[in-house]
Amino acid sequence: PSHREGFGVSCAEAMAYGRPVVASAVGGLLDLVADEETGLLVPPGDDSALADALTALADDSARARAMGAAASAEALARFSPERMCREIEEIHAGALSR
């Protein structure tokens, strides 16, 4: 598990593809992954917790599918091309108005 993470692009990509994320509870991952909803967060450096989280999802496919569906919905809502373009336009408009 990571000890530091600024954002977690690979986690966001996995979420967009409907995969539940198992990640360290650090940095930007705390804002990206909703523990027990879109994935599982484990303490950084805790290999046993990581193994337990992976096993839990492997052993409960219904839970993994539900988390994956929630992850996909969250990623598509937060990172859709339309939203990204709108937010970039807002940044540009703010900069131009100064």
Helices and strands (H, E) in the chain, number of each type: 5, 2
Share of the chain above pLDDT 90, in %: 83
Alpha carbon separation from 33 to 3, 68, 75, 86, 97 (Å, rounded): 16, 11, 10, 23, 35
Q: Is residue 5 scored above 80 in pLDDT?
A: no
Alpha carbon separation from 84 to 17, 19, 72, 88 (Å, rounded): 18, 21, 16, 6
Predicted TM-score of the model (pTM): 0.81
Write the DSSP symbol of residue 33: -
Strands 39-42 and 21-24, by their bridges, are parallel
- Mean pLDDT for 31-50 is 96
Q: Is residue 3 scored above 70 in pLDDT?
A: no
Q: Is residue 29 scored above 90 in pLDDT?
A: yes
- Mean pLDDT for 22-49 is 95
Q: Is residue 2 scored above 80 in pLDDT?
A: no
CATH of domain 9-96: 3.40.50.2000
Mean pLDDT of the chain: 93
* Amino acid (1-letter code) at residue 10: S
